[in-house]
A and B are shown apart, each in its own frame.
Chain A
Amino acid sequence: MNIFRLAGDLSHLLAIIILLLKIWKTRSCAGISGKSQVLFAIVYLTRYLDLFTTYISLYNSIMKIVFIAASGATLYLMYVKFKATYDHNHDSFRIEFLLIPCVILALIINHDFTVMEILWTFSIYLESVAILPQLFLVSKTGEAESITSHYLFALGSYRALYLLNWIYRYMAESHYDLIAIFAGVVQTILYCDFFYLYITKVLKGKKLQLPA
C-alpha cells in the first residue's frame, strides 16, 4: 500500500459517501444518472466476486463490502425511496452501447480465459466508461449542482490517483497490469473536460454551467 493507492481508495470512498449524503439530505436524486449508478453496481458485483474465493486483507474485504453495499443503497434511494425525483427524461444514455462492447472486449483481451478473470476484466472495462451516462446527463441539462460536481471530482480523482499508484508500483515492484492501466487512462481522460470546469468554476464558487 503506497500513498497514491490509499489516497485513491479514500477518494473513491469519499465520492460514494458524498453521493449518498446528497441524496439523503436533499431527499432528491435530481441531476444524478441512475444508469451510471446501475453500471457501477454491475462493476462492483462482477469485480468483487473474489470476496468468496480469495482473502487478501481485512482492509480489502471491508472496502469491497462497503462499495457493494453503498452502491446497492444508492440504487435503492434512486429507484425506490426517492423515485419521484429521478430525472428520467434527461437520463437517456443507451447503456447497451457500453455493456456490449465491454463484454466483447473482455472476451477478447483478458489475462486468462476463466470466468472469474473475464468478469474482472469486464468490470475494469465497464468502470472506465460507466460515468458516461452521468456526463451525458450533465451535458443535456447544461449544469450540475456543486455537490454533484464534488462527487464527480472525487470519483474522477480516484482513478487518476491509481495511475500514480501504478507508476509507483512499476518502479518499486517492476510489476504492471496493462489492462488496468489502459482502462484507467481511458477513465481518467473522460473526466479531463470535467476537471477543467471544476477547477475553473466550481472551486471559484461558481455553479458548474456548460457554455450554451
Chain B
Amino acid sequence: FGKLRFKDEL
C-alpha cells in the first residue's frame, strides 16, 4: 500500500 490515494475525491 503505497501513497496512492486520490486526494481530490470526497
* Contact A169–B10 (Cβ < 8 Å): no
Cβ contact of A180, chosen from B2, B3, B5, cutoff 8 A: B5
- Which residue of A9, A67, A112, A175 is within 8 Å of B6 (Cβ)? A175
Chain A interface category by residue count: 20 to 34
Docked Cα-Cα span, A112 to B3, in Å, equals 7
Residues of chain A contacted by B8 (CB below 8 angstroms): 56-57, 60
Cα(A58)–Cα(B7), bound, Å: 14
Residue of A nearest to B1 (CB): A111
- A64 interface residue (CB < 8 Å to B): yes
Contact indicator A54/B10 (Cβ below 8 Å): no
8 Å CB contacts to B: which residues of A49-78? 50, 54, 56-57, 60, 63-64, 67
Instruction: Give the CA-CA distance A178 to B9 in the complex, in Å.
Output: 14
Partner pick for A111 among B2, B9, B10, CB 8 A cutoff: B2
- Nearest A residue (CB) for B6: A177
Residues of B within 8 A of A35 (CB): none
Most A CB within 10 A of own CB, among B2, B3, B6, B8: B6
Contacts of B10 in A (CB 8 A): 9, 12, 60, 63-64, 67
